[in-house]
Amino acid sequence: MSVPATVSETSLEGLRLVRRGKVRDVYAVDAERLLVVATDRISAFDCILPTQIARKGEVLTALSRFWFTQLGHITKNHLLTTDIEDMPESVRAHADALRGRSMFVRRAEVFPVECVVRGYLAGSGWKDYRRTGEICGHKLPAGLRESAQLPQPIFTPATKAETGHDENISEACMAEIVGAATTERLRATSLALYLEAETYARARGIIIADTKFEFGLDAQGQIILIDEALTPDSSRFWPLDHYEPGRAQASFDKQFVRDYLETLDWDKRPPAPPLPAAVAAATTARYLEAYRLLTGSEL
């Protein structure tokens, strides 16, 4: 059985690499536009794993494009095109390496906060709630169980840590970083995006338990949605038909990989251990399945 080829890293002659993130290689195409290449890298617990996930970069790109279109009435976004043929010649020269995994986008000045929305109690939200009864200053009813749906979705911003783990912050703290008016705008936009996406996804069998957006200012000083949108990497996706509060949920997303890693005696610090081929293949299947359920078509 042949294992599908994966891309761990790109190196594109003639384009200037501006950032290698945990998942994306970002190139400057010109002063105002970037090429964002989603590789097949996967990170868990903020470490990049030595194993790649086949087709992951494709799913992240196609799913983000889907949501940018679907939610375009709520906010402007950075996407210009995912079609290599419509990109400048300097990019088209690398068409074979880039097809399916690349977004040509407007470059933004990135706000240094992660705009997280939570509709359910999981992850660091669940941890904070158990300790303090609150998340990011939102007082929640007592007695909620793990994975419980919140009375209403809440905006729970976090700092973008260059290294290590992001830290949950209050809206007041976010306002000190980006200003009160911008905080209000990003909060309202993030909640509106989440609400519409959650309703849409739920009707297709997926609970979007929480998600993270990034925003920036474009060259005209307008706020735009950037990065990826509502993918299994930036969100917790749970299969609706297995949903049961009171425990952690099985999921379409990286939780599956995280769960495997939790069975190991690994201290969550680099270097991360490799994934068994079966875990990698099952993860590919989950990404493809999430795409199929949400968009109604096979990738």
Ligand X SMILES: Nc1ncnc2c1ncn2[C@@H]1O[C@H](COP(=O)(O)OP(=O)(O)OP(=O)(O)O)[C@@H](O)[C@H]1O
What is the spatial distance between Cα 260 and Cα 272, in angstroms, rounded to a whole number?
A: 12
142 CB neighbour count, 10 Å cutoff: 7
Asked if residue 19 binds ligand X (CB under 6 A), the reply is yes
* CB distance 118 to 154 below 8 Å: yes
Asked if residue 36 binds ligand X (CB under 6 A), the reply is yes
Asked if residue 110 binds ligand X (CB under 6 A), the reply is yes
Instruction: Identify which of residues 130 and 165 has a Cβ nearer to ligand X in the complex.
Output: 165
**Residue (of 64, 168, 43, 182) closest to 116 by Cα position:** 168
Asked if residue 23 binds ligand X (CB under 6 A), the reply is yes
If you ran DSSP here, which 8-state letter would residue 77 be given? B
Q: Which stretch binds ligand X (CB under 6 A): 20-28, 126-134, 149-157, 252-260?
A: 20-28
For residue 19, the minimal CB distance to ligand X (Å) is 5
3-state secondary structure of 211: strand
> Token pair of 268, please?
């969550």
**Residue (of 33, 56, 37) closest to 102 by Cα position:** 37
For residue 44, the minimal CB distance to ligand X (Å) is 12
* CB distance 53 to 284 below 8 Å: yes
Residues 143-162 that bind ligand X (CB under 6 A): 160
* Interface with ligand X (CB under 6 A), residue from 186, 216, 256, 275: 216
Instruction: Identify which of residues 22 and 76 has a Cβ nearer to ligand X in the complex.
Output: 22
Q: Which residues make up the interface to ligand X (CB under 6 A)?
A: 19, 21-24, 26, 34, 36, 78, 105-108, 110, 160, 214, 216, 226-227
